[in-house]
Amino acid sequence: MFDMSLTEEQMILQQNVREFVQKKITPVANKYDQSGEFPWEVINELIAMDLHCMPVPVEYGGPGLDAVSCALLAEELGKGDAGIATTIAANGLTSYPVMLAGTPEQKKMYFDILMQGKLAGFCLTEPNAGSDAGGVMTTAVREGDEYVLNGTKCFITNGGVADVYTVFANVDIKKGIRGLSAFIVERSREGVQVGQEEDKMGIRTSNTTEVIFKNVRVPADHLLGREGEGFKIAMQTLDVARPMVGAISVGLAQSALDLAINYSKERRQFGKPIASLQAIQFMLADMAIQIEAARSMVYRACYLIDAKKPHGKEAAIAKVFASDMAMQVTTDAVQVFGGYGYSRQYPVEKLMRDAKIMQIFEGTNQIQRVVIAGQILR
Ligand SMILES: Cc1cc2nc3c(=O)[nH]c(=O)nc-3n(C[C@H](O)[C@H](O)[C@H](O)COP(=O)(O)OP(=O)(O)OC[C@H]3O[C@@H](n4cnc5c(N)ncnc54)[C@H](O)[C@@H]3O)c2cc1C
């Protein structure tokens, strides 16, 4: 069993972020969703509060938040805008390879960049290596005391707005997955190019681009861990990061439920609010049940991470359940709004579009089931 109660610091963080979201994100979320512009005004405020570098350890100048606190932040941001929550969560995702495998010197080099108020991007996916992360074709060839990187990454969150990346490249393609290796690569290095930006159906406030490496030279001390440890580092990273996708899903689903509750009390049909209809009441109750279940799974996975206990299966379960739940709950919220739910003048269709990506990134929900099945059949 584990204690679900929050510490005083966690409650203060939750309250502060909640107020920030209500004042600064909710009022502008639809404007940015329509324009597809990157919301620098909001991101810069989050950076000023050091909320862009949640897990950066205190000894490297960061807030050193535990996984539960990171999830609280992700959930609250997810209530306001899942794209902004994704931008911030991607900084955590990019940082975990450094936290897990970096030397003290590498941590200082990397965290110094983040603590200057910069964003980061996790570069694993390629056009022919999505679910099959072992199929990465980006190469890293050792030349003296440098590596030379060549390849194209796609769908990289923060790709065009980051100043530093963690990049997965193969030091020996013949070795396949056993050649995969992880590197810190600064955006300022010659040969790093930002390619096409995705025009997405949802999380439109999140920047997603190709990142291209053309003869990019990095010092050998930018290799994280040893050559060939990249796949292990990537998988351990995703085990820590997946509950954050779950937390964002819980936040956006909670917003959908709150909106549906308010609307059902205001909207009158047959001479009474639709909230008095049992069909609507049961739909709202089912939404609440699913959100509560997902929230418990997300925080349990985070608790296990903080307690340094095995958590890979629980992280995958939390991610898959919470994201499937968010898709269902946001779809039901559109249903509660009826025809108005389908209109862009009302906020629930955005939540439905935003929810979809939660089932796809950081390993599709089919891949999560592969992970879970692998663990329970072991
Ligand atoms: C908005 C956005 C942001 C992203 N951010 C990042 C990022 O920051 N960094 C990064 O590295 N990547 C990122 N990604 C990439 C994302 O992680 C991949 O899109 C995802 O892992 C799926 O890969 P794919 O798109 O190539 O799909 P594919 O792997 O081609 O999958 C297609 C379909 O086949 C299914 N499938 C594939 N293999 C199996 C299997 N073995 N068993 C069952 N079903 C299977 C999948 O579930 C899916 O339904 C992002 C993607 C998007 C859209």
**Pair 94, 177 in one domain:** no
Which of 304, 375, 348 has the alpha carbon at shortest distance from 68? 304
Q: Please compute the mean of the pLDDT values over residues 72-76 and round it to a whole number.
A: 98
Q: Which one from 126, 227, 229, 362 is the annotated catalytic residue?
A: 362
DSSP strands (E only) in the chain:
119-123, 139-143, 146-157, 162-170, 180-186, 192-197, 208-219, 223-224, 268-269, 272-273
pLDDT score for 223: 98
CA-based radius of gyration for the chain: 21
Q: Which pLDDT band holds residue 4 (cuts at 50, 70, 90)?
A: confident
Which of 189, 158, 140 has the alpha carbon at shortest distance from 94? 158
208 C-beta closer than 6 A to ligand 1:
yes
Say if CB 119 and CB 94 are below 8 A apart.
Answer: no
Supply the residue whose CA is at minimum distance from atom 23 of ligand 1. 130
The domain total for the chain is 3
10 C-beta closer than 6 A to ligand 1:
no
Which of 290, 288, 284, 292 has the alpha carbon at shortest distance from 263? 284
pLDDT score for 54: 87
**Pair 81, 199 in one domain:** no
Is residue 172 in a domain? yes
Which atom of ligand 1 is least distant from the CA of 132? 29
Which atom of ligand 1 is least distant from the CA of 153? 11
Q: Give the range of the structural domain holding residue 318, as residue numbers without chain letter.
A: 232-376
Ligand 1 centroid, distance to 156 Cα (angstroms) = 11
Taking each helix axis from N to C terminus, what angle separates 40-48 and 82-101, rounded to the nearest 10 degrees?
A: 50
Distances (CA, A) of 143 to 148, 218, 219, 290: 7, 10, 10, 53
Which atom of ligand 1 is least distant from the CA of 363? 21
Q: Is the pLDDT of residue 1 over 90?
A: no
**Pair 255, 354 in one domain:** yes
Where is the domain boundary, 212, 228, 244? Answer: 228
Work out the percent of the chain whose per-residue pLDDT is above 90: 97
54 C-beta closer than 6 A to ligand 1:
no
Quote the tokens at residue 353. 């579009």
Distances (CA, A) of 291 to 75, 183, 286, 327, 353: 12, 37, 9, 11, 18
**Pair 88, 128 in one domain:** no
Residues sharing a CB contact under 8 Å with residue 271, sequence separation 6 or more, in sequence order: none
Q: What is the CATH number of the domain that holds 307?
A: 1.20.140.10
Say if CB 305 and CB 314 are below 8 A apart.
Answer: no
Q: Which pLDDT band holds residue 314 (cuts at 50, 70, 90)?
A: very high
Q: Which of 38, 84, 125, 194 maximizes ligand 1 atoms within 8 Å of its Cβ, making it the mutation to test the pocket?
A: 125
Q: Please compute the mean of the pLDDT values over residues 183-195 and round it to a whole number.
A: 98
Supply the residue whose CA is at minimum distance from atom 25 of ligand 1. 130
Supply the residue whose CA is at minimum distance from atom 7 of ligand 1. 156
Quote the tokens at residue 197. 């930006």
By the 10 Å C-beta count (0-12 exposed, 13-18 middle, 19+ buried), 24 is classed as: middle
Ligand 1 centroid, distance to 299 Cα (angstroms) = 25
Q: What is the CATH number of the domain that holds 71?
A: 1.10.540.10
Q: Which of 196, 360, 372 maximizes ligand 1 atoms within 8 Å of its Cβ, making it the mutation to test the pocket?
A: 360
| pLDDT tens-place string over residues 10-19 | 999 999 999 9
The pLDDT mean for the chain works out to 97
pLDDT score for 365: 98
Q: Please compute the mean of the pLDDT values over residues 166-193 and round it to a whole number.
A: 97
Q: Is the pLDDT of residue 39 over 90?
A: yes
Q: Is 126 a catalytic residue?
A: no
**Pair 242, 348 in one domain:** yes
Where is the domain boundary, 193, 228, 263? Answer: 228
**Pair 180, 245 in one domain:** no
Ligand 1 centroid, distance to 153 Cα (angstroms) = 13
57 C-beta closer than 6 A to ligand 1:
no
**Pair 190, 260 in one domain:** no
pTM: 0.98
135 C-beta closer than 6 A to ligand 1:
no
Which atom of ligand 1 is least distant from the CA of 159? 8
Which atom of ligand 1 is least distant from the CA of 168? 11
Ligand 1 centroid, distance to 244 Cα (angstroms) = 17
125 C-beta closer than 6 A to ligand 1:
yes
**Pair 206, 264 in one domain:** no
**Pair 60, 72 in one domain:** yes
329-334: Cβ within 8 A, 24+ apart: 329/253, 329/256, 329/257, 329/287, 329/290, 329/291, 329/355, 330/252, 330/253, 330/256, 330/354, 330/355, 332/256, 332/260, 332/283, 332/286, 332/287, 333/256, 333/257, 333/259, 333/260, 333/287
* Distance between CA atoms of residues 347 and 79, nearest Å: 12
pLDDT score for 2: 60
Distances (CA, A) of 308 to 66, 326, 360: 11, 28, 27
Is residue 3 in a domain? no
Which of 84, 213, 243 has the alpha carbon at shortest distance from 140? 213
**Pair 93, 17 in one domain:** yes
Is residue 168 in a domain? yes
Element spanning 10, H or E: helix 8-20
Residues sharing a CB contact under 8 Å with residue 183, sequence separation 6 or more, in sequence order: 140, 147, 149, 166, 167, 168, 169, 218, 222, 223, 224
Q: Which pLDDT band holds residue 3 (cuts at 50, 70, 90)?
A: low
Q: What is the CATH number of the domain that holds 201?
A: 2.40.110.10
Is residue 2 in a domain? no
Supply the residue whose CA is at minimum distance from atom 44 of ligand 1. 366
| pLDDT tens-place string over residues 318-353 | 999 999 999 999 999 999 999 999 999 999 999 999
Distance of CA 150 to the CA centre of its chain: 26
Q: Is the pLDDT of residue 125 over 90?
A: yes
**Pair 35, 81 in one domain:** yes
Say if CB 159 and CB 207 are below 8 A apart.
Answer: yes
Q: Where are the alpha helices (DSSP H) in 310-363?
A: 312-337, 348-358
Higher pLDDT, 53 or 263: 263
Say if CB 192 and CB 213 are below 8 A apart.
Answer: yes
**Pair 106, 163 in one domain:** no
Which atom of ligand 1 is least distant from the CA of 121? 8
